[in-house]
Amino acid sequence: MPTLLSIGSAVPDHGISQSQVLSILEGAKGRELPARMADILRNTGIAQRYIAMPPEYYLRARSWPDRAAVYEQAAMTLFAKAAAIALERAGLTPRDIGQIVCVSTTGTMTPSLPSQMIEAMGFRSDTRVVPLFGYGCAGGVIGLGLAADLARAAPDRPVLLVSLELCSMAYDHSRMDKKDMVALALFADGCAAAVIGPAGGPGIACGPKLSAFAQNTWPNTLDMMGWDIGDTGFDLVLARDIPAFVASDFAPICDAFLAQQGLTKSDIAEPICHPGGGRVVDALADYFGQDLTATRKILAACGNMSSPTVLFVLEEILRGSPLTRPAIMTALGPGFVGAMGLLTP
């Protein structure tokens, strides 16, 4: 069964606290924020985040070519950092990797980011490259499931999964409307990498098995989450109450997924959840009946980095001790899609 051999993460150099974000927003608007909006931004569950460029960069007009150039440089740097950590922890070199799955929805490169890293990092020329685009926050779980499938199909070719998002480069901040301010208050930049190979391989001594993955797309929810293409960036689409959706629609899907594996919520260890925001974490905690300590810790320290965030949570959970019970991974993203994965000792 495919096994998680190692995991590593990296963030950009520019840290910013949530109080700084509020001050920047008020400066950009030229006045204090409405009380309700200020409360929303303070209640995100985020204390600090990391972004690719200094804060003042984002208040200037930015063309698509400018964004693309910054994305390419920052993405290659973070890819290299996170991948190097994961490979070292697995006891492997780039030449040991046979396949690379790369998840990113906040920027594009052609040739793709992993293709450009083949020569830069010394991967073999016959390394299979699979870029994955469009799943947003759900991409980390979906990418891990795809990596597990590839490792299962070719166990002699270890898989490197890299999930990278530069959310700060994606959004158009020219209007400073309500949705743009929500995006500014929630999203951050980061990269996580994982090495997946056969059981008994090098790496984490008791790395969890990647047992099962599933996803569900709900009808008539295309307007629930995503973005529209603006003149100089992406315009956030966030049309429904996601915390309420967790209780009414996502919970039954999770129940069914666990039941298919012969499990219930009482059988699982601390869930590994993409946090979304503070209210989403609260809704997930209510459903699972657990406080989701690691999920809250990563949200507070790093913000919502979109797809890699759930892998940061996984790294945090495994940092303490290996799994002794099954654990579920969850994430919600554009589509509207729910992604789930089961990890077992």
**Active-site residue set:** 137
Task: Show the DSSP H helices in 242-308 as ranges.
Answer: 242-245, 251-260, 278-288, 293-302
**Among all chains, which residue has been given the structure tokens 């990647």?**
210
Distance CA 85, CA 90 (A): 9
- The two tokens of residue 202 are 């090098």
Task: Show the DSSP H helices in the chain as ranges.
Answer: 18-29, 35-42, 64-90, 113-121, 139-153, 167-170, 178-186, 242-245, 251-260, 278-288, 293-302, 309-320
- Beta bridge mates, 215: 339
Which residue type is seen at 6? S
DSSP, res 187: B
